[in-house]
Amino acid sequence: MNHLTPVDAKAFGKVGVLYGGRSAERDVSIMSGNGVLKALQSKGVDAHLFDTGVCTLAELAAEKFDRVFIALHGRFGEDGCLQGALELLGIPYTGSGVMASSVGMDKITTKIVWLAAGLPTPRYAVLSAAAVAGSDLDAVAADLGLPLIVKPPHEGSTIGITKVSAANEFKTAFDIAAALDDTVLAEEFVTGREFTVAMLGSGANARPLPVVEIVAPQGNYDYQNKYFTDDTQYFCPAVLPEALTQEMQRLAVLAYRAIGCEGWGRVDFLLRESDQKPFLLEVNTSPGMTGHSLVPMAARAEGISYEDLCVEILRTARLKMKG
């Protein structure tokens, strides 16, 4: 059921599609940005690409965009840095504001917020180089159990993530993640199915789209399988009992609101095999918009085309700070 508000494309004025950037997800962002540009232009929007990884903030200000669509992923685009700059420049932008973007980009802080709100997320430990030097890895492995997941808390697209099945693999997994981040997140491994719930809107008007199940080869939903192969299978709407679908969507809304997200986003889940309990993994405040991406897939299941989705996200662009 399509619930979108009719819009006048000309009323958006000159629109910048911010893409590229400087994060490890630059290549994905370039794909997202080109897709969004084509979609907006097909709807009559005066849209233009702007690569934040190549151009300066002074050049961004000089473009005099009336609003921008953020199609950036990862650091310096999804983490609050750019959002703060856009607030200073007075350019309305899509997605979450400074605080929610920053919290959502940090998987550890996200967990702290969710746990404070009584929401389910896998148990975890925060690791530092000093802790590893003190041989705390054995204690962490004993507490969380094996296998476990080791990841850099400020990267996306499964970059730097390792599944540790034996104690002697832990240090190597830590080093891989520590090369990308100052702190490292070790997380309880939840055996089960993987799902995601796309979100549209803000606050009381935030609503979930149909649940998507992700079935990757050998259960490995890594960077390659996310964006560059056709081996991963997606089921949307996911085949689940209605009560479980509703529970997952309910948790997604609560998780999204707890972080303070707005405009659009995506909440990722694992469904534990042993008792069918859903666990929150992370929230994406600027999800992918490529041909393999999950938010457009969920929107299509609700009768919303990729083009209409892009226009709807653009419609919600605004400055978040009063003053």
The 3-state DSSP class for residue 46 equals strand
The residue among 31, 32, 112, 20 whose CA lies nearest residue 75 is: 20
Q: Which residues contact 75 (CB under 8 A, 6 or more apart)?
A: 21, 22, 23, 24, 81, 105, 154, 155
213 counts as catalytic: no
Q: What DSSP string describes 105-166?
A: H-HHHHHHHHHHTT-----EEEE-HHHHHTTTHHHHHHHH-SSEEEE-TT--TTTT-EEE-S
Active-site residue, selected from the candidate residues 155, 282, 302, 312: 282
Active-site residue, selected from the candidate residues 23, 29, 102, 157: 157
Active-site residue, selected from the candidate residues 262, 268, 302, 307: 268
The 3-state DSSP class for residue 306 equals helix
288 counts as catalytic: yes
Radius of gyration of the chain (CA): 19
266 counts as catalytic: yes
Q: Evaluate whether 311 touches 69 at the Cβ level (below 8 Å).
A: no
Active-site residue, selected from the candidate residues 74, 80, 263, 288: 288
250 counts as catalytic: no
The helix (H) or strand (E) run that includes residue 88 is: helix 81-89
Residues forming a β-bridge with 283: 267
| Dist. CA 107–CA 155, nearest whole Å | 9
Active-site residue, selected from the candidate residues 25, 155, 262, 307: 25
Residue listed under structure tokens 């476990």: 148
| Dist. CA 80–CA 286, nearest whole Å | 11
Q: Evaluate whether 74 touches 25 at the Cβ level (below 8 Å).
A: yes
Active-site residue, selected from the candidate residues 29, 96, 202, 284: 284
25 counts as catalytic: yes
Active-site residue, selected from the candidate residues 93, 124, 227, 306: 227
202 counts as catalytic: no
Cα 76 to the center of its chain, rounded Å: 14
Active-site residues: which are they?
25, 157, 227, 266, 268, 282, 284, 288
